[in-house]
Structure 1
């Protein structure tokens, strides 16, 4: 059986038990062993009590919680726990706590007010207030319990009320409040543990990703620089001009892979290598400006970057990602100064590549 099926089964069993128990308590009020002075009043009290109690048991909101309901933040609300009763049902339960004891007591004579069929409301209203407490209306539940205690003491005397079931009703309400608090606390702890586990799993996944990226970078570095290093060692550092160029290009490729991997594709790599072969200095730096961008947008940005580099004639190029919400990449080109011009005047390329669709 699935977890959801088990939850539904347990919920159905609890609702069924609550329904049967309140029906039993009300049925005791019809088991008359003595003549009742005003049976219509007693029956009217029962007809008020049963629909109210079953409404408190079975009522469910259209949403898991009202927008202005503070229990919305409770992790056991809604489908994972009892939802909060609306105010009008809670007020109806309070009306029962006032009307039912008075109607039953006035419907029988003074000498039989302590008979089981005349004292059922002690357990009945206590059960109703327990349900109200479980449905997250503690103030209404305690108000109804206080009213029950006051009216039962008034109609049958304090000692009789305590002896015939008032104590049990109060205990039910207390236990219900403790259970709801305990369930909420346990559910909050479970949610916190689940969040910690989620964060831990995400951290572990990121570490595995970084390890894989580092491993790939090491493999790429060995593939690029390995033959050159072997040649350098074998010749004692005496390299030909072409080998020195290859070493400089290999160093640039490694720097690009470490500093700006998200800026690179085959076209960008080819243009960067072309620029370096003609003697230009190219510096790439990804400072996180491309984080969270999908592959389609990255492809558009790289295509524009490759086109920009294809037409560049600068001696020094600086390619950096931008934290700006509109600009994705900034390309700055500078060339050697003449006639004493400053570096500021030597900027001969400035290109801002925007985020696609912005």
Structure 2
């Protein structure tokens, strides 16, 4: 049995105790209309049970689902009006201070406390105002206060303060959960970046390590082939820094092949691919590798694009006729569209 069930049973037991006082007529001679007392109990108990166990009772206390619907509100206000007056009408003036009559002060106070807990503060205070007006009319303000009205106000006030505290605690808990999720996401992002950096370092060592070793061995005196290999290694490292989102094994192979045949390939990641899922990136890289495989340009420039339709632009230039004074010719212009 959870805490909610225990509190519900305690609330039911307390209201039942208060209502039972209405059946113990300590001075029967003062009772003129006993049916009114019984009718007040018949109206009070079902509505109170409804508010304890009815719609939304199992919802979290901070949820709007915990609030009773409008028809339940109408029943609670009807009980506040009827029960606050019926027992006093049922007895003579001398019997109005008897426990089987004044139980309504605690009974309505208990019901309005439940109403407050069920997230209907305005209804609870309206019910308390009805109770105050009714009991003050029948008993007088001071006597009503001395017979339990002060306690009923304390119950409802305490319920509202506890409810406010619980709501704040629930909001703080949700906020803490959001912060924990954000921290976990940040930690996962940092772990991903660390793995990515390790991969870049490994690739850098694979690409540049042999060239650096030969450079040290030869004291900086490299053959032409070694110098060319060093330039390609430098270019591949630059690719990893400038356009890592565009690279996979297939793209790297085609870029290396283009450079080996003498083409200059430049990658520039200028944004636009952030947040794109792995499947879409794979499609873009596959298309880029195919374009590079077919390219015969002397210089190839690859740029990512923040455009909403174009993901990558590939421009290829080849040397023009020097004798004719021609500038470089654009012999390749391709755009890779964003996947839909």
Between 1:16-25 and 1:116-125, the stretch displaced more is 16-25
Between 1:174-183 and 1:304-313, the stretch displaced more is 304-313
Indicate the SS of the match to 1:30.
Answer: coil
- Equivalence for 2:7: 14
Structure 1 residues 282 and 75, CA, compared in 2 at 3 Å: closer, same or farther? farther
Is 1:248 matched up with 2:248? no
Q: Which runs of 4+ in 1 moved over 6 A?
A: none
- Give RMSD over aligned pairs: 2.1
Is 1:23 matched up with 2:23? no
- Equivalence for 1:298: 281
Aligned-partner Cα distance in 2 for 1:330–1:85: 60
Between 1:112-121 and 1:334-343, the stretch displaced more is 334-343
TM-superposed CA distance for 1:262, in Å, is 2.7
5+ long unaligned stretches in structure 1 = 1-7, 65-73
Is 1:188 matched up with 2:171? yes
Aligned-partner Cα distance in 2 for 1:93–1:342: 89
Q: Which of 48, 53, 72 is matched with 1:53 structurally?
A: 48
Answer whether contact 1:75 1:191 (CA < 8 A) is retained: no
Instruction: Give the number of aligned pairs.
Output: 336
Q: Which of 197, 201, 210 is matched with 2:193 structurally?
A: 210
- Equivalence for 1:175: 158
Aligned-partner Cα distance in 1 for 2:136–2:252: 91
**1:132-154 alpha-carbon deviations (Å, 9 max, x no partner):** 11111111111111111111011
TM-superposed CA distance for 1:204, in Å, is 2.1
TM-score (norm 2): 0.92
Aligned-partner Cα distance in 2 for 1:324–1:17: 64
5+ long unaligned stretches in structure 2 = none
- Equivalence for 2:39: 44
- Equivalence for 1:34: 27
TM-superposed CA distance for 1:87, in Å, is 2.4
Aligned-partner Cα distance in 1 for 2:231–2:126: 84
TM-superposed CA distance for 1:295, in Å, is 3.0
**1:8-63 alpha-carbon deviations (Å, 9 max, x no partner):** 61111111111111111111111111222111111111111111111111122499
Q: Which of 63, 82, 86 is matched with 1:77 structurally?
A: 63
Aligned-partner Cα distance in 2 for 1:264–1:108: 92
Is 1:228 matched up with 2:211? yes
Answer whether contact 2:12 2:49 (CA < 8 A) is retained: yes
TM-score (norm 1): 0.88
Indicate the SS of the match to 2:86.
Answer: helix
